[in-house]
Structure 1
Amino acid sequence: MSVTLYFSKVNLNSHIFKVYDKKIKLEETLDKLYTKINEKVEYTREDMKTVEYGETYTYDATYNFNFLEKLDFPRSIVGSIFKKSPLFFNEVDSNTGKLRKMMVDNTEVIEFYFDVHKEIVVFYTTNRFGFQEFNHAFGELLNRSMSNAEENYYFDVSLLKEGLSVDRIKEQLKSIGKLHSLKIEIIPPNADDEFLDKIQKNGEKYLNNIKAGNVTQTSILFTSRNDEGLNLDAEIINEEIEKIEDIHSELSAELAIRNGYVKVEAESKEGRKYTTNDNRSIKDKLEEKPSNPILFAEVCRKKIESLLNMFF
């Protein structure tokens, strides 16, 4: 059976300024995460399912790690996430001949490989457990693995996508028509030792400002009820778009988009929607899924190496 592999970037968000100030090391924090992840960690979220005739059901979906194997070279984890939730279906009532709504417990399973130091997780999806849901569940399980009464950690997990330049983003925004709204979100980039040295040396304005305010995410929203919509060339808007390029001189807009440090969303007056999350995801295909987790880990490890050589 063939499977499509997706790649997501794991970003430490909560303690990133301690990394910038060299009070903690990113690698040591990731080593701690590697140790803390276990099969007892669980995350439950409330969801709603709308079935025929507009009927809506509220139910819980529970996620947890299973079949974890921790590898040393490189430091990585192979395993699965189980999603347990109700499955809704129709059944004919033998007495009345009418359809009735039924519900049974269902478990969906996604296998993953997490290269801890490279901060990349590789996985495939199922029909009822997609990549956005996986990223959210994986991030929440990481957060719960690293949080306790004394300290809480937050990790952001986002799909790796092909990068976009600022000019290309502007072109795509203008292509959807007159804009009713525009939202730009930026999180501080994770820093390896080389990038950290450049941050310390250059001390650039954007990172200094958000660090001074302990801001782990900026989000700005522009809206317009004017018939002409937002003017993207106006200084007030253009400055915010240009910040994508100005996070740090060593970090291009393409890399910021690819690594999930930046997200741009917009909606036109006619209701057309745009998001950089819809940019083409980086993925690969296996004609046949490996027969055991260690083989799966080895295949994913090689895919990550090839990916890094190609895009970074």
Structure 2
Amino acid sequence: MTILYYSKINVNSNIFGVYDKELSIPDIMAKVFESLDDKQEYIKKELKNFTDRDTGESRTVESKEIYNFSELEKYRDLNEVYITGKLVRRYPIFSEKFDNKTRKSKPIVHEDNAVSINFYFDLKSEIVTFYVRQKFGYKQFNEAFEKLLDIHMLDIGFKVYLLNDPYKIQERLKMLHKVRKIKSVIIPPNVNEEELEDLFNEQTLELKESNVTRKTSVFETHKKNPKGMNIDSGMVRQTLDVSNVYISRGYGKLEIEGETIDGTLFKYDSEVDSYYNTSIHEEDKENRIKLIDAAKRGISALFSKITKNKLQNNRIDINSDDKNLN
């Protein structure tokens, strides 16, 4: 089986224009639908150091990776809008070539090696579904997809985050005993669907008023503190609750360091430990029709989980209010 990942496409730079009704997410996605092509490229350059075996000298070479879309197919009707295709990574391989005459090997570079990943981009839910390959992980995919969107849409900036499973997040948080550090990152959400309206709360309004498109909160206590952080305090609990809501929908991340009840060191990263995923048969991942079907079912299941989780939280809040009244 092959794991399918799900990433949220967030309109980050212009999100407050969306809140003020100057722009709409559907209009932006309509422009994305028209703009994406296989011509534009994202070029990532890095400097790499190595030692020349003949001279022993340190040398620096420029490594260049090129990303582009390929084999795009676009579909739109009254009920759905999506793009399928491949995201291609081209990169050099640093190797050696043996010279039969000198009986020595020399460093060479093989240019334009390529690996590609099929994806399904649902523009109504703003979710892209994909799998990973050797030499092409989910971090590279998300970065390249984000940069290509920015290149195609010069007046709009995007953020691409792995979606998290709302149940996995809660399960991980229950493992906490002593908390040493909490780092929360949230970004303003795309508010264009009924089930996301609850995100437009005091926190989001504060971000809008400050014109902040990324908020990072860090809480720490000394490692020798025998009690650890009080996660039930108002300040910390509010941060955890807000983070849980935001990151479960792909609008941020949460990192926690501490200990479990048996003293084992505990590190939690929502992007690594709680990502939402489904699976597809290995032989089906290259079949575009089957990939589309699996992606649609995965997105539908995710929103069902979010809705169920929201209803459960609402029932807990109601029960708490009833107890307070009594």
TM-score by length of 1: 0.78
| CA displacement 1:192-217 (0-9 Å, x = unmatched) | 24367667xxx742222111111111
Letter in 2 for 1:239: M
2:231 & 2:4 partners in 1: Cα distance?
41
1:41 corresponds in structure 2 to 40
Is structure 2 residue 268 aligned with structure 1 residue 274? Answer: yes
Is structure 2 residue 123 aligned with structure 1 residue 116? Answer: yes
2:230 & 2:169 partners in 1: Cα distance?
13
1:68 corresponds in structure 2 to 72
| CA displacement 1:170-208 (0-9 Å, x = unmatched) | 555546xx73x5421111121124367667xxx742222
1:214 corresponds in structure 2 to 211
Correspondence 1:145-294 to 2 at 5 A: 145-147=152-154, 152-163=155-166, 170-172=173-175, 174=177, 179=180, 181-194=181-194, 204-222=201-219, 227-228=224-225, 231-233=228-230, 239-240=235-236, 242-246=238-242, 253=244, 255-266=245-256, 273-281=267-275, 282-289=277-284, 293-294=288-289
| CA displacement 1:145-187 (0-9 Å, x = unmatched) | 111xxxx312111112212688756555546xx73x5421111
Shift in alpha-carbon separation, 1:196–1:273, aligned structure 2, 3 A: closer
Q: Which structure 2 segments of 5+ residues have no match?
A: 308-326
2:83 corresponds in structure 1 to 77
Correspondence 1:100-115 to 2 at 5 A: 100-105=106-111, 106-115=113-122
Secondary structure class of the residue paired with 1:245 = helix
2:321 corresponds in structure 1 to none
Shift in alpha-carbon separation, 1:134–1:166, aligned structure 2, 3 A: closer
Shift in alpha-carbon separation, 1:88–1:10, aligned structure 2, 3 A: same
Letter in 1 for 2:44: R
Secondary structure class of the residue paired with 1:211 = helix
1:157 & 1:56 partners in 2: Cα distance?
32
1:234 & 1:224 partners in 2: Cα distance?
11
Q: What is the deviation of 1:225?
A: 6.2
TM-score by length of 2: 0.75
1:171 & 1:198 partners in 2: Cα distance?
24
| CA displacement 1:85-127 (0-9 Å, x = unmatched) | 1123355554566665442121111111101111111112110
Shift in alpha-carbon separation, 1:23–1:268, aligned structure 2, 3 A: same
Secondary structure class of the residue paired with 2:85 = strand
Alpha carbon RMSD of aligned pairs, Å? 3.6
Correspondence 1:45-56 to 2 at 5 A: 45-47=44-46
- The 10-residue stretch of structure 1 (158-167 or 44-53) with the greater mean CA deviation from structure 2: 44-53
1:16 corresponds in structure 2 to 15
Letter in 2 for 1:136: E
Q: Could you say which structure has the larger radius of gyration?
A: 2
Q: What is the deviation of 1:289?
A: 2.2
- The 10-residue stretch of structure 1 (71-80 or 279-288) with the greater mean CA deviation from structure 2: 279-288
Shift in alpha-carbon separation, 1:143–1:240, aligned structure 2, 3 A: farther
Q: Which structure 1 segments of 5+ residues have no match?
A: 248-252
| CA displacement 1:31-51 (0-9 Å, x = unmatched) | 111111112221111246688
1:283 & 1:98 partners in 2: Cα distance?
49
Shift in alpha-carbon separation, 1:25–1:90, aligned structure 2, 3 A: same
1:257 & 1:86 partners in 2: Cα distance?
35
CA contact (8 A) 1:14 1:153 kept: yes
1:211 & 1:300 partners in 2: Cα distance?
33
CA contact (8 A) 1:173 1:274 kept: no
Shift in alpha-carbon separation, 1:230–1:205, aligned structure 2, 3 A: farther
